[in-house]
Structure 1
Amino acid sequence: MALLRDVGITLGRWTGRPVARVDEDAGDPDVPRVRAAAEAADWATVRDVLDARPESEDRTGLLWAVGDVAGVERWIADVMAAEPDAPLPRLVAAIRHISWGWEARTGARAKDVSREQFQTFHERLATAETWLYEVAEREPGWTSPWYGLQITGRGLQVGPEIARRRFEATVRRDPHHLGAHQQQLQQVCEKWSGSHEEMHAFARASAFGAPGGTLLGQLVAVAHLEHWLALDSGPDARYISRPEVIASLGEAADHSIRHPDCVRGRGWLQVQNTFAMAFALAGDVASARECFRATEGRVTEFPWYYLDGSDPAKAYKEYRSYAGR
């Protein structure tokens, strides 16, 4: 399961507009540093970078940067053996096994995944769960193990009740943790174990139950995109362009990215990209243009891979042109 990555910019020679180009650093200078350390099996540097971040969403992206590096599963085992009482090595090992598990499963539809692939997928997630519970017991205030358990739970299909408890455990420690809410939104989607009605209700309750300026307004936009994706061609366009959907998107943007208290923290760029896509699909050109302008040409893989899985930046540029940016 890859970390959602940002796309960097250079200035366009002909238009003067930013031109999208892949950049895996997500705008965080510590991401390439911790990734390079993971590739070099340099545990001391990995530990120092992770320890310097608060144990909350601020550390989530760095953990996944390490977890996406092939081979971490080998050297982190030696670290765990050398530091049997330390929770951080177990957390890193667990996150790596989650990513490693999804590598085995691949992003194919379930019908196209072999029994052997599913077995490896489930074994790696089960191993991750064991370590995540150990970390949660040793560090009861940490958010990351519970966030990791949300992801393993969906892969292992633990069911809506257990999934809900894991989400609640995460947000008790970090009430506005965007990743935790994103995971729970997926859990209540129709394609997993929920319904459109439950998904929209969760999105609105989370977004408007939080103070103005948090990034949880994105959930409303994602819910509309998920609803749009579930429909056939024709009904999908009619749905996303309905006046009440456009009004809902505007209300959510006003409470989050347009709010005067909104801060450009981790996740802000992805949220802007999400609203840009939703507004563009809905036909609200002015609002889409505003979001595209805010991104300054920096593209996030999510949600644009919904439109073009092989080249999210291409989809971004096409819709940016439609919006007149």
Structure 2
Amino acid sequence: MALLRDWGLTLGRWTGRPVAHVQKDSGEPEVRRVREAAEAADWATVRDVLEARPESEDRVGLLWAVGETAGVERWIAEVLEAEPDAALPRLVAGIRHISWGWEARTGARAQHVSREQFELFHARLRTAERWLYEVAEREPGWTSPWYGLQVTGRGLQVGLPTARRRFEATVRRDPHHLGAHQQQLQQVCDKWGGSHEEMHAFARKSAFDAPGGTLLGQLVATAHLEEWLSLDSGPDAAYMGRPAVAASLREAADHSYRHPDFVRRGAWLQVLNTFAMAFSLAGDRAAARECFQATEGRVTEFPWYYLDGGDPAAAYRKLRSSAGR
């Protein structure tokens, strides 16, 4: 993979590397534009941006930028009244209620979430499901509502068979949809009722069944990070230090971002960040340096929030330094 030049400036001084900063919008102008429009309750612009992005070109990323914006749940209700037959406002309402639901639950462990928080969480997810099913009926070719139903299904604990059907409904419409595969990977994790074996098998099959240059190579790295997270201090480092883990990561990298058909679009930056963290923890400094150089200091929140108290930029800088960058 051709890597970009690694230049950076800090306070007027040459640093030899770019300053690490969290890239919330993946460097895509349309994500920033639709987020700003959502903040301003500018439905006309939100609609124009979303309608201009085909479902086949990862419209989910734009939808999620809207859904994460506070206050959308208020103004989208007026749009729903004004456009009772339109599918797109229902899709936005459904995605917003997913994010709004998780805001109620918070990211705390289940034992630290109150009954009232769980009730509100589940109520908002059930509302999201109602909107998303209506969209799926009105626009049977759309991928986004089924992806949203994968997310609500995990929160509502619909069970592995139902979760699998929702995943299959998504990939029938878009076989290599990264978000759908990421959700299903979580669903088959040990912590959500699956197992490490099932998780790794799913990750490898999904990645290597896809054409070379696929973003789905990220799943292999994510699966190793998930098993690492499940272990106590000591065993976690021993796991990532296994030669088989590093070999698995290199094989996935060769089929993904190192492949000549890899294209820097969509979630490519998150893919490189995930491999950077995984290679760093696996002790493969050369492979980690390659990823850090390619990201040019642009940090995605996932997977770095797993480290250093949830400060992605600090975690990125720390492991980049360890890798010799």
Render the CA deviation track for 1:91-148: whole Å, top value 9, x for unaligned. 0000000000000000000000000000000000000000100000000000000000
Give the equivalent residue in structure 1 for 2:190.
Answer: 190
- Aligned position for 2:4: none
1:61 to partner: Cα distance: 1.2
Structure 1: runs of 5 or more not aligned = 1-8
One-letter amino acid of the counterpart of residue 148, structure 2: G
SS in 1 for 2:265: coil
Q: Which runs of structure 2 are paired with 1:175-214 in the superposition (5 Å)?
A: 175-214=175-214
How big is each residue's C-alpha offset from its partner over 1:5-38, in whole Å with a ceiling of 9 and x where there is no partner?
A: xxxx963335221111234322010122111111
Find the counterpart in structure 1 of residue 242 from structure 2: 242
Give yes or no for contact 1:276–1:289 (8 Å, CA) kept in 2.
yes
Residue 308 of structure 1 and its aligned partner are, at CA, apart by 2.5
Q: Residues 120-199 of structure 1: matches in 2 within 5 Å?
A: 120-199=120-199
Deviation per CA, 1:229-280, whole angstroms, max 9, x where unpaired? 1111111111111111110000000000100101111110000000010001
Where in structure 2 are the equivalents of 1:1-325 lying within 5 Å?
11-12=9-10, 13-56=13-56, 58-325=58-325
- Distance in 1, matches of 2:9 and 2:150, equals 40
Post-superposition CA distance 1:175-207 (Å, at most 9, x none)? 100000000000000011100000000000100
Change (3 A) 1:319 1:173: same
**Secondary structure, counterpart of 1:137 in structure 2:** helix
Distance in 2 between residues matched to 1:159 and 1:139, nearest whole Å: 25
Q: CA RMSD in A?
A: 1.2
Structure 1 CA distance for aligned equivalents of residues 9 and 160 of structure 2: 46
- Aligned to 2:158, the other structure's residue is in SS state coil
Residue 310 of structure 1 deviates from its aligned partner by 3.1
Work out whether residues 10 and 21 of structure 1, in 8 Å CA contact, stay in contact via their aligned partners in 2: no
Shift of 1:56: 3.5
Deviation at 1:59, TM superposition (A): 1.0
Contact 1:57 1:177 in 2 (8 A): no
Aligned residues: percent identity? Answer: 81
Deviation at 1:57, TM superposition (A): 5.0
Letter in 2 for 1:155: G
Q: Which amino acid aligns with 2:142?
A: W
Gapped runs of 5+ residues in structure 2?
1-6
TM-score (norm 1): 0.95
Partners in 1 of 2:37 and 2:278 — Cα distance?
37
1 CA distance for matches of 2:151 and 2:57? 14
Equivalent residue of 2:192, what SS?
coil
- Structure-1 separation of matches of 2:304 and 2:24: 15
* Structure 2 residue matching 1:19: 3-state secondary structure: coil
Contact 1:31 1:62 in 2 (8 A): yes
Letter of the 1:221 partner, please give it.
A
* 8 Å contact kept, 1:57–1:178: no
Q: What is the distance in 2 between the residues matched to 1:56 and 1:157?
A: 28
Shift of 1:70: 1.0
Distance in 2 between the 1:22 and 1:213 partners? 25
Q: Deviations for 1:40-76, whole angstroms, at most 9, x for unmatched residues?
A: 1111110000000011352111101111111111111
